[in-house]
Amino acid sequence: MDSERQELVSRGAASSTEREKTAKALRDRWLGRKNGLLAHIDEKWLKPSSRELKPIVGRKFNELRQTSAQLEMEALIRDVPVRAKVNSSDPGSKDASFASTGQALSTATGTVAVTTKDSVAVEVTTAAADLTLPGYRRRLGSIHPITRVQREIEDIFLGLGYSIETGPEVETAYYNFDALNIPATHPARDDMDSLYVDAETVLRTHTSPVQIRALRKHGAPLYILAPGRVYRRDNPDASHSPMFHQIEGLAVDADITFADLKGTLDFFCRKFFGEKVRTSFHPTYFPFTEPSGEVSISCFVCDGAGSDAVGRSCRTCKASGWIEVMGCGMIHPDVLGHGGVDPERYSGWAFGLGIDRFAMVKYDIHDIQLFFQSDMRFLEQF
C-alpha cells in the first residue's frame, strides 16, 4: 500500500504540468464509483485480515484515501486558470478571462481548508483564483410595459375598494352586443369590424360584456374593474392592432350620479399621470351609456400649453394641450335591466380605457406595434 501511495504522489506531482488530464486520471483511477481502487476498499475488504493487521491496514488505507483526495483537490484548484475561456470575438467582454496560452490569472498564495464529500479535512496550499473578478452576468427579465401599466391601474382602484373580474375572450353575440344595447344594425357588428367564430360567437370587441356577467353573478351594489385582451378587425399600424388590452370600470349602487363618476376619474388620472394633471369631460355617444362622455387630460409634457419653452409644438398632445384617454358615462337603464338590476332602484357609471394607449401616453411611445414585437432592446428599457 506504501508503493500505491508513492505512485499516487508521483502522479500528483505531474499535475503541475498536465493539470486537467492528471486530475481526471486521478479521479477515475482512485475515486471512481465503479472501478476506482478506493471504492473497493471497505470493511469487507479488511475482514480477512488478522486482528493485528487490521489497525495497520486501516491506517494505511486512510492515508491513501486522504492523499488521493488532497491531490485531486490540488489538481482541480490549480486547473481554475486553465479552464477560464476567452470570447475571441469580443476581447472587451466582462466574461473574458485568460486562455491556455500560459498567461496566469492574478492569484494569491495561501492555505485553504477543504472538506471533501467524504468529510476528509484537507489543507491545500495552492495559488487560488482572484475572487474579485466579476462573475458571469445573468440576464434578468423585466415586467412588460403593458403588464406594468395594468397593475398600476388595478392598484389604484383596488385602493378605492374595487375588485377584479374577468370574462371569456370568446364571447357570445348576446353578451358582446345585444345586452349592451348594440342592435343588429349597428356598424360595430359588421364582420368588417368584428372577428366572428360563427354567427353567434365572436372574439370580444371590448371588456364591457364582463359587466353584464358580473351584475348577474353578484348583483348590486357592485364596484369592479375588468381588464383583458380584446380583438377587432384592424390593420396593424402605429396606432392600431387587431389585438389590444382594455380595462372596464363599473360602479353600481343607490343614488350614484355623474358627479361621482367625475370625481373618481379625476382622482384616478391625477394618481396615474401626476397631481398637476387636469381633466376635461366632453359629451359623446355610446349605446350602453346615457349620458356619455370622453375624458381628456392636460398634457403632462407641456403642462397643457401645447408647446415647450422655446415655442416648439408638443408632439405628445399634438400642440392641443390635451390628450384624450378614455370614454365613460352613466349606465343605460336597459343595460342594468339586462344585468338583472332594477334601474328604478340602482344607478351606475362605467368607463373604458385602452391599457396600450395609457402605456403609449405615459412612456411617450409612438408605435403600438413595439409592445408585441418581443424586441429586447425595447423591453429592457422598462
List, for residues 184-201, the tens digit of each pLDDT value.
888 888 888 899 999 899
Local confidence band at 32 (pLDDT 50, 70, 90 cut-offs): low
- Let me know if residue 135 belongs to a domain: no
Same domain, 163 and 114: no
Who has greater pLDDT, 139 or 264?
264
Residue 234 scores a pLDDT above 50: yes
pLDDT in tens, 66-84: 776 776 666 555 554 433 3
pLDDT, residue 207, reads 95
Distant-in-sequence, close-in-space partners of 62: CB < 8 Å, separation ≥ 6: none
The least confident of 23-37, 96-110, 328-342, 350-364 is: 96-110
What is the arithmetic mean of pLDDT over 173-192?
Answer: 91
Same domain, 85 and 167: no
d(CA 324, CA 305): 15
> What b/e readout covers 28-43, taking b as 16+ CB neighbours within 10 angstroms?
ebbbeeeebebeebee
pLDDT in tens, 356-371: 999 998 888 989 999 9
Distant-in-sequence, close-in-space partners of 30: CB < 8 Å, separation ≥ 6: 8, 36, 37, 38, 68, 72
CA-derived radius of gyration, the chain: 36
Same domain, 85 and 197: no
Highest mean pLDDT among 19-23, 25-29, 113-117, 239-243 belongs to 239-243
- Let me know if residue 139 belongs to a domain: no
pLDDT, residue 97, reads 39
Local confidence band at 86 (pLDDT 50, 70, 90 cut-offs): very low
What is the arithmetic mean of pLDDT over 248-256?
Answer: 95
Same domain, 117 and 151: no
**Among the listed residues 236, 234, 183, the one whose alpha carbon sits nearest the alpha carbon of residue 205:** 234
Structure-block grid coordinates of residue 241: 392592432
Last residue of a domain, one of 129, 162, 194: 129
Same domain, 151 and 295: yes
Same domain, 317 and 197: yes
**Phi and psi at residue 265, to the nearest 5°:** -70, -30
pLDDT, residue 92, reads 44
Q: What percent of the chain has pLDDT over 70?
A: 71
User: Distance from CA of residue 234 to its chain's centroid?
Assistant: 28
Residue 178 scores a pLDDT above 90: yes
What residues form DSSP beta bridges with 323? Answer: 297
CATH of the domain at 185: 3.30.930.10
Report yes or no: 278 and 298 within 8 Å, Cβ to Cβ.
Answer: yes
pLDDT, residue 24, reads 63
pLDDT in tens, 309-353: 778 888 778 888 898 999 999 999 999 999 999 999 999 999 999
Mean of the per-residue pLDDT values of the chain? 80
Same domain, 268 and 366: yes
Highest mean pLDDT among 112-126, 194-208, 315-329, 367-381 belongs to 194-208
Distant-in-sequence, close-in-space partners of 309: CB < 8 Å, separation ≥ 6: none
Report yes or no: 204 and 168 within 8 Å, Cβ to Cβ.
Answer: yes
- Let me know if residue 138 belongs to a domain: no
Domain count, the chain: 2
Same domain, 213 and 159: yes
Residue 259 scores a pLDDT above 90: yes
Detail the DSSP E strand segments found in 91-169. 107-115, 121-129, 163-164
Same domain, 80 and 190: no
Residue type at position 292 = S
> What b/e readout covers 89-106, taking b as 16+ CB neighbours within 10 angstroms?
eeeeeeeebeeeeeeeee
> By 3-state DSSP, what share of the chain in percent is helix, strand and coil, each rounded to 5?
35, 25, 40
- Let me know if residue 113 belongs to a domain: yes
Tell me the DSSP string of 131-146.
Answer: TTS--PPPPPP---HH
Angle at 12 between CA 8 and CA 16, to 5 degrees: 165
Neighbours of 82 (CB within 10 A): 15
The range of the structural domain enclosing residue 194 comes to 145-379
pLDDT, residue 112, reads 47
Who has greater pLDDT, 264 or 63?
264
pLDDT, residue 74, reads 64
Q: pTM score, two decimals?
A: 0.63
Last residue of a domain, one of 96, 129, 162: 129
Distant-in-sequence, close-in-space partners of 116: CB < 8 Å, separation ≥ 6: 69, 73, 122
- Let me know if residue 323 belongs to a domain: yes
